[in-house]
Structure 1
Amino acid sequence: MMFSETLGSTRRMRVYGESIRFGIHSGQQYTSFPEMVDLWQRVEELGYDWISCFDHFRPPIGGPGGPCFEGTTLLSALAARTSRIRCAMLVSAVTWRHPAVAAAAAATIDHVSGGRLEFGIGAAGDDLGYEQYGIPFPPAGQRLDMLDEACRVLRGLWDEEVTDFTGKHFRLSAAHLEPKPLQQRLPLVIGGEGVKRMLRIVAEHADIWNTLVAEPETYRRRLGALADHAAAVGRDPGEIRQSMTFRAVLGEDRQQVEERRRAVARILPPDSPLWSEYLVFGTPEECVERLKPYLELGVRDFLLGSRPPLDWRTIELFATEVIPALRTGS
């Protein structure tokens, strides 16, 4: 739930306050539903705060025929099979669904989960589904325009009794959505990092801003751009929770780490763009040190990307050694 803070004369709304949360971004490139149920339930048992699906139809990872469950239906089913952990979509492509359809799906999943949904949306990226399924993929500028309008539609339908909206891409006329989400304010996550347009949309609409890991100085510059955009729209940047997704491979000692790095290299080619998502190949202690600069920069949600083949040792070491150390500040 959200709550207000009064700092001097400034009222600040923060999602979950200053608490630090840790999650798994699981994706759904699996070949059976029981695999995903086992993953989500085990992650919940390990004490993680948060877990997510993505919203690709034909993700480029895994080749043109790789497996991938549909995101919204899978998220609803998995939410029904967990009880405590926050359940998220990270993130839905604005090209896939009319935002009124997305709003209705999100409200339904919030009820299925008992009020644990966090719904993410973005301007869409590479996906083989556009070519394979014949789905239009507009230019970047148009997709950003669609994203801005979609955020307005989502929030209107979630929060208002009746919504009217006339945009370039979407139109609603005396639109109703019932039942509303269970949460008084369903958190809207926006994923993206473009400093000119994307962060302007984040500044205006996001409860949570998610981005892939970047070097601390790069992240600091993006934070500055976000603050500038927030000032331009009259919003306190402190209202926007910072979330970061990264990958890691952890081991108890250097020999084990190197063995596990070589295992990843057998799966990923040297020129794979996924290498840049790996924050650390190291021990839990090294992982803590790599994450501390982002904690100091205000990141409060740390999301470990874990897709098949699952690296359970890293998931467990992160839960049992990294998370406690960051929570206590050691």
Structure 2
Amino acid sequence: MIRVGVHSGQQYANFDECLELWTQAEELGYDWVSLFDHQRPPLGGPDGPCFDGPTLLAALAARTRRIRCGMLVSAVTWRHPAMAASIAATLDHVSGGRLEFGVGAGGADLAYDQYGLPFPRTGDRLDMLDESCEIMRGLWTRDRVDYEGEHYRLTGAALAPKPVQERLPLVIGGGGEKRTLRTVARHADVWNTLVTDIDTYRHKKDVLRGYCEEIGRNPDEIRMSMTFRVVLGEDETRAEERRRERMALLPAGSPDVGEYLAFGTAEQCVEALLPYVRLGVGDFLLGLRPPVDRETMRIFAERVAPALRQAAAGLDGSRSADLVRR
């Protein structure tokens, strides 16, 4: 089953602006909407706006009814995994069992310098990620947890109430082949990455499958999720006009540019995404940041998403393109 979503982030000047986006995503039929868990993201400059992730997610979850509510992703550097597990369980109750909680080893964030927060070396953060996943799952599912690791220790630890969902989906973000994908194989319900070229993605999928085989896990148990950006228009002329407008908003050298998969029509977007559908990607998450590209958001929901779902159900690429043109 294909799910389509919006990765909204939380770099908004006020709550109402973010709530409007989440409400519209639900009304347009998206399956998922998510925040990240940066404190001071480098995008937007050193003093740009950024709401706290878990606090905002609770407020938005309480104001929506159907859509899956994602955290994509929470860095292990911000809080002890027992605290993260408690936050996630609380969010699952607030949302009525709609949470999907993402974790990662952490990356660039201005808060480490601005707030004087420790930023462990890469190897330590990857160890922390693996230990955190084990601790969180234990606290979500067991009455008591004892754990002795390199970075964390729990003694008779309890968490109540448990999440609403019998198995709260744990999303692991990242594509590192030596360590991160091994952790994905061990712990993830969903594996999320930023868009890459199709050959790179296929290779990483094969690496993940190899790690699953090593531990005796069925790789089909892990849902594949991809976050990307596109700019869409009703025709190629409009799409090119909108591409120029969007690029003009980005500062020189912006890391956002590499996340754009397509600039064009709905048909061209479907063509760009179909190879990932064939590889087994189940979640397609459209990245949006203010000023929100509502035209792309609408076109993707109304014309791209149905074609992707039909393709996943067995239609070939040409039939999917025909569906979009109707």
TM band (smaller chain) = over 0.9
Aligned to 1:302: 284
1:278 aligns to 2:292 (yes or no): no
Deviation, structure 1 residue 273: 2.1
In structure 1, what is the Cα distance between the partners aligned to 2:42 and 2:183?
A: 26
Aligned to 2:314: none
2:239 to 241, 257, 276: 257
In structure 2, what is the Cα distance between the partners aligned to 1:95 and 1:233?
A: 27
Aligned to 1:184: 166
In structure 2, what is the Cα distance between the partners aligned to 1:266 and 1:34?
A: 26
AA aligned to 2:24 is R
Count of residue pairs the alignment pairs up:
312
In structure 1, what is the Cα distance between the partners aligned to 2:78 and 2:304?
A: 36
Aligned to 2:191: 209
Aligned to 2:224: 242
AA aligned to 1:114 is G
Aligned to 2:62: 80
TM-score by length of 1: 0.94
In structure 2, what is the Cα distance between the partners aligned to 1:270 and 1:62?
A: 12
1:122 to 89, 93, 104: 104
Deviation, structure 1 residue 270: 4.3
Deviation, structure 1 residue 225: 0.5
Residue by residue over 1:211-262, the C-alpha shift from the partner in whole angstroms, topping out at 9 and shown as x without a partner, is 0000111000000100111111221111110000000000011111111111
Residue by residue over 1:176-231, the C-alpha shift from the partner in whole angstroms, topping out at 9 and shown as x without a partner, is 00000000000000000001111000000000000000011100000010011111
Q: Decide which structure has greater strand share.
A: 1
1:144 aligns to 2:89 (yes or no): no
In structure 1, what is the Cα distance between the partners aligned to 2:262 and 2:212?
A: 32
* 3-state SS of 2:178 partner: coil
In structure 2, what is the Cα distance between the partners aligned to 1:105 and 1:265?
A: 37
Aligned to 1:21: 3
Aligned to 1:4: none
Q: Percent identity?
A: 63
Deviation, structure 1 residue 324: 1.1
Give the gaps of 5 or more residues in structure 1: 1-18
AA aligned to 2:279 is L
* 3-state SS of 1:66 partner: coil
In structure 2, what is the Cα distance between the partners aligned to 1:69 and 1:219?
A: 32
AA aligned to 2:281 is V
Give the gaps of 5 or more residues in structure 2: 312-319, 321-326
Q: Decide which structure has greater helix share.
A: 2
In structure 2, what is the Cα distance between the partners aligned to 1:236 and 1:270?
A: 43
Deviation, structure 1 residue 272: 2.0
In structure 1, what is the Cα distance between the partners aligned to 2:250 and 2:60?
A: 29
AA aligned to 2:22 is W
Aligned to 2:45: 63
1:316 aligns to 2:298 (yes or no): yes
Aligned to 1:133: 115
In structure 2, what is the Cα distance between the partners aligned to 1:161 and 1:301?
A: 32
In structure 2, what is the Cα distance between the partners aligned to 1:119 and 1:195?
A: 22
Residue by residue over 1:14-47, the C-alpha shift from the partner in whole angstroms, topping out at 9 and shown as x without a partner, is xxxxx11000000000010011111111110000
In structure 1, what is the Cα distance between the partners aligned to 2:309 and 2:221?
A: 21
In structure 2, what is the Cα distance between the partners aligned to 1:241 and 1:328?
A: 18
Aligned to 2:36: 54
Residue by residue over 1:164-186, the C-alpha shift from the partner in whole angstroms, topping out at 9 and shown as x without a partner, is 11111111100000000000000
AA aligned to 1:70 is D
